[in-house]
Chains A and B, each alone.
Chain A
């Protein structure tokens, strides 16, 4: 009796979600039932706040300091103390000290005030420095250059609406009039500069933006107002970022070979 051809074992796409405290928004989305598909296996890796600095770049990946491993701050849902490009098919950096609002605040006034202008050449130099001075961008670049198929980066979202008093808002006069096209122009410079590094930008989705360069209050963590938290976002925001990541053409391209193998 001819033996039935064994169906190849389905290999799931291994995805790492990497970040600082901004990672919480993604986790909250999963806690609320976010489902990227049964062909995906998700790991979280990161650390919050000051502990995030204890994730060190090595020559082929990221390794947590002993102090971080021994403490409670390391987030590693599958028990790893470090990650390498070969561990995953895709990685999404979220936040990870790449603060979009700082970059926007630096370049936006020049768009609206002729006497605060910055030349394109200056902005390009700023962009390169903004990215290269962020360790997580350097790590993302390393992962991409070492063969990880899809490396994406979602910078931390704009500050939360209604909590701007703690910031030097007077220096940013006028940016509330920024339109979608203004933001798109700035994002495109970042996108291009990141793509040179083999990294795909996940820009802050437009539906979450308010007042030119803020995040709508509905996407802030629940107790943001009471605690004056201008930074952290909720599960709804996390879901939108995940939708953009898993719905990207780059991620779709990863899914195709897996499905083909399922058919064979």
Chain B
């Protein structure tokens, strides 16, 4: 009778899986729990690294679910400026598990509305997404109506999606202790007024994040029992820390905690998986090659490598994806006839024939 390590595959051993391989040939990092097909609707949310997911999915022909698309006649540049099409709904970055929970609870009526409005120079800002409109809103009511639009989009996204991808970003957060909610950004950095008595810094613990993430997942499952949740952890280091620690040490703490929570969620919920984009970018085996010279931003090659791993591991485990069954959008080309074109020839001929 042999020992438990005897029959393990080569990916279980550092020497064969990592040390003896060129870093770009390290593979099989992910053992996906569920298949993601081209027909599956995929919602993306989370920290800024999640944006890469939506772009890569669209590029590969996957069905990214944009529940709050830019309105007609908004140019691509303006759509981007107003944060349409960045995530599946117009929340902006969702950095923490608590803010995800907060958005879901607001969307599904599990908590009272948050009515605080930040005002700056006659413009109005949403404390839950202060940079969603580049110059704020024209009025407090416009801001609140816009948030209601996003809450509806969240409901549609959650109830209509097959896969919910969430990228966990931060543990450090700012809480409004009077109204009991979490800001997206520290007050006064964009708008609002910082009140040291009211606005409390919290570097969230493993237990707190675990509780928020579990509550968020349960809410997702309550609203859509067949939903599958894929967690990732952003590999992007903190820009700044309010913890008192060195920012490098603070980054290590944050990411370690988030990574641990993601693992715990995967173990706890059968509908939840974890994709190791964090490891692919940050592990020493890759020698920091995917970071830009500022040692923080992830270069496009790094994003490509992450996504190649994602698609390759899906294919390795579940086989090649069959072509999508849903009708794809027609290619741009010759303009289709419009209502004005239909019968217009007769109209003109009739009118001018009578003269």
Contact = CB atoms under 8 A, between A and B. Distances in A.
Interface of A: 20-25, 27-28, 30-31, 44, 47-50, 73, 75, 77, 95, 97, 99, 102-103, 105-107, 114-122, 125-127, 129-130, 133, 156, 159, 221, 227, 229-232
A263 to B, nearest CB: 34
B9 interface: no
A118 B149 CA distance: 8
5 contacts: A48-B344, A105-B72, A106-B72, A126-B78, A130-B73
A48 B345 contact: yes
B146 A119 contact: yes
The 7 closest A-B pairs by CB, nearest first: A21-B344, A24-B351, A48-B348, A115-B152, A117-B145, A27-B351, A49-B344
B257 to A, nearest CB: 35
A103 B142 contact: no
A146 B344 CA distance: 31
Interface of B: 71-75, 78, 81-82, 133-135, 137-138, 142, 145-146, 148-149, 151-152, 337, 339-345, 347-352, 354-355
Contact of A118 (B71, B75, B134): B71
Nearest to A26: B351
A119 B73 contact: no
Contact of A106 (B73, B145, B148): B73
Contacts of A103: 73
B355 A27 contact: yes
Contacts, number: 128
B138 A119 contact: yes
Nearest to B152: A115
B148 A117 contact: yes
B138 A121 contact: yes
Given A129-B75, A130-B73, 11 more contacts: A23-B348, A106-B73, A117-B142, A117-B145, A118-B71, A119-B82, A121-B133, A121-B134, A126-B72, A229-B343, A231-B344
A120 to B, nearest CB: 5
A232 B350 CA distance: 12
A231 B145 contact: no
B75 A231 contact: no
Contacts of A49: 337, 340-342, 344-345, 348
Contacts of B347: 21, 24, 48, 221, 232
Which of B146, B149, B340: most chain A Cβ within 10 A? B340
Nearest to A123: B71
B65 to A, nearest CB: 18
B345 A121 contact: no
Nearest to B134: A121
Nearest to A47: B348
B339 A21 contact: no
Given A49-B341, A121-B135, A229-B343, A24 B71 contact: no
A73 B354 CA distance: 16
A230 B137 CA distance: 37
A192 to B, nearest CB: 15
Contact of B75 (A21, A107, A125, A156): A125
